[in-house]
Chains A and B, each alone.
Chain A
């Protein structure tokens, strides 16, 4: 039973477009929300993370939007590039444990 629900399962976007991935959670004890990027056959790497006292965080072309009252957060990839083609995981943490979403495979068409 997944504590973090992620959608969509996959998406295709044209080069230069915007990719949006959504996540929702129930556990209000979560206090750290990272996004990881994973390429095939590799381990995930931290992309960007946010804490619940902030509603938005931007790093380059990647932005997290966080809605504490709705218990939802999302990743926006602006000006998507072919090199962004990967699987993206949202996660939420409380105490020691990271709970992951099921992942979204993003394909950027040139």
Chain B
């Protein structure tokens, strides 16, 4: 059963804490992406990775960090430096980086208490 899994589905954190969101894909895709979704704003790119051990900042990378040690995994850490972290976070992947279809995971809803 191929696809993208994100965990957990819901996440609560206290202010000042770092938290890591998991994203795993078994589609053998080279490229992976992290987006943030807020009401009325569409999706905004946080980070993306075209190959293992390489990643680039997107439009809103401040307060976030990523790693890409394995092709199938692209975890996102929301640090305490992110001023407004409450949002819906979506991970995506595509065969190659570029103008091709991106497949999305089911998302993680992060709430800061």
Q: B residues within 8 Å of A by Cβ?
A: 4, 31, 33, 40-45, 48, 50, 56, 58, 90, 92, 97-107, 109
B99, A42: Cβ atoms closer than 8 Å: no
Q: List 19 A-B contacts (CB under 8 A).
A: A6-B42, A32-B99, A34-B101, A36-B104, A43-B92, A43-B104, A43-B105, A43-B107, A44-B90, A46-B101, A89-B43, A93-B98, A95-B99, A96-B50, A97-B58, A98-B33, A98-B45, A100-B44, A101-B42
Chain B residues within 8 Å of A43, by CB: 4, 90, 92, 104-107
Give the total number of A-B pairs whose CB atoms are below 8 A apart: 59
Nearest CB to that of B106 among chain A residues? Answer: A43
A103 touches B97 (CB 8 A): no
Chain B residues in 8 Å Cβ range of A36: 104
